[in-house]
Amino acid sequence: KQEVTQIPAALSVPEGENLVLNCSFTDSAIYNLQWFRQDPGKGLTSLLLIQSSQREQTSGRLNASLDKSSGRSTLYIAASQPGDSATYLCAVITGANSKLTFGKGITLSVRP
């Protein structure tokens, strides 16, 4: 059974800092891995999707890497801003029905 872990559960950093959010998964037979952002009372916004054959994806200040064999992914946020404060969720797809298995998320707070 696939399990996704995100540690720590919460993180507080000063504005401008570069930071790395970690995600690990137990079953390396994944189709893809996705990073989402969730704001309080809002839905999820897809940030980056890395296919199983890819090593990384970039979008603006965000870079996500995938090491499928070791069951790890990282989300790198460059030059963090207070507007980046949110919960970041990692999720993987391991079945053909596109069911996502989520981690519990990392709540990020960027202090001005």
Partner 1 sequence: NAGVMQNPRHLVRRRGQEARLRCSPMKGHSHVYWYRQLPEEGLKFMVYLQKENIIDESGMPKERFSAEFPKEGPSILRIQQVVRGDSAAYFCASSLGLGTNEKLFFGSGTQLSVL
Residue 37 CB coordination number (10 Å) = 19
Q: Contacting partner 1 (CB under 8 A), which of 23, 77, 86, 89? A: 89
Region of 16-24, 55-63, 64-72, 93-101 interacting with partner 1 (CB under 8 A): 93-101
All residues at 6 or more sequence positions from 7 whose CB lies less than 8 Å from its CB, including other chains? 22, 106
Alpha-carbon gap, residue 83 to 77, rounded angstroms: 12
Nearest approach, Cβ of 15 to partner 1 (angstroms)? 27
**Best CA proximity match to 62, nearest among 45, 77, 73:** 77
CA-nearest of 52, 59, 57, 63 to 18 is: 63
Q: Which residues inside 6-35 make contact with partner 1, applying CB under 8 A?
A: 31-32, 34
Under rule CB under 8 A, residue 77 binds partner 1: no
> In the set 1, 14, 83, 98, which binds partner 1 (CB under 8 A)?
98
Applying CB under 8 A, the residues found at the interface with partner 1 are 4, 31-32, 34, 36, 41-46, 49, 51, 89, 91, 93, 96-105
